[in-house]
A and B are shown apart, each in its own frame.
Chain A
Amino acid sequence: SQQGEEDPQALSIQEGENATMNCSYKTSINNLQWYRQNSGRGLVHLILIRSNEREKHSGRLRVTLDTSKKSSSLLITASRAADTASYFCATSSTGRRALTFGSGTRLQVQP
């Protein structure tokens, strides 16, 4: 069953603006990850944050995790047209090596 719900479902911004996507999940996790998917192709791993971490950065990406609220956010700063894609959060839980994916956010960055 799908673990995470993401909002917004779709987001349209101008190049240079920041994009924030949120993910909520239901059960205890080992880690939470974010993936990007361009036009229905394969997914690319962006960043992983462990359950004992609260914030993580990678380039223009900033991820936060609040395990008390069972939620995470992905911030993309200074967005570019090339960031246009669907973004999915995915959770890893104890005893389950396969990831459970959220519903996804479709990001459109207008040049």
Chain B
Amino acid sequence: SAVISQKPSRDICQRGTSLTIQCQVDSQVTMMFWYRQQPGQSLTLIATANQGSEATYESGFVIDKFPISRPNLTFSTLTVSNMSPEDSSIYLCSVEAQGAGGPGTGELFFGEGSRLTVL
């Protein structure tokens, strides 16, 4: 299992500002995933963050809007840039389970999420 801490847990932001969300894992992991969950909706993958390389973004998400850092195997940040009310969502960090499931089985552990409200 993995314990994931996300900061902030929630924030209210002004339009046009940027906010950086931090994700800390209690063990070293190869891949970290950032998901967005808009109000009442399901989860949509923003990007996959690998240590030592550029993040891989999904269709509809761009680095200028959602820059990601992955400085080591236990930490990542997601920045939501130039926010608008449409960015109001829960942003979730997740990692793949290691051990019994093995890499690639896809079982994920999630942080508690960062709930952003943009006014």
Chain A residues close to B by CB (< 8 Å): 1-2, 30-31, 33, 35, 40-45, 48, 88, 90, 92, 97-104
Contacts and interface: CB of A to CB of B under 8 A. Distances in A.
Interface centre among B42, B107, B108, B111 (most CB of A within 10 A): B42
Given A42-B110, A42-B111, A43-B92, A98 B105 contact: no
Contact of B90 (A31, A40, A100): A40
B24 interface: no
B25 to A, nearest CB: 13
Contacts of B107: 33, 45, 48
Nearest to A45: B107
A88 B110 contact: no
Nearest to A2: B42
Dominant SS at the B interface? strand
Given A40-B115, A99-B45, 15 more contacts: A33-B106, A33-B107, A40-B37, A42-B112, A43-B43, A43-B110, A48-B105, A48-B107, A88-B42, A90-B108, A97-B48, A97-B106, A99-B106, A99-B108, A100-B45
A102 B112 CA distance: 19
Contact of A40 (B45, B94, B113): B113
How many chain B residues sit at the interface, stated as a range, is: 20 to 34
Contacts of B111: 42
Contacts of A104: 42
Contacts of A31: 105-106
A101 B106 contact: no
A101 B42 contact: yes
A30 B105 CA distance: 8
Contact of B43 (A41, A92, A101): A101
Interface string B76-119: 00000000000000101010110001011111111111010000
A92 B42 contact: no
B66 interface: no
A14 B15 CA distance: 43
A31 B107 CA distance: 9
Contacts of A2: 42, 44
Contacts of B104: 30, 92, 97
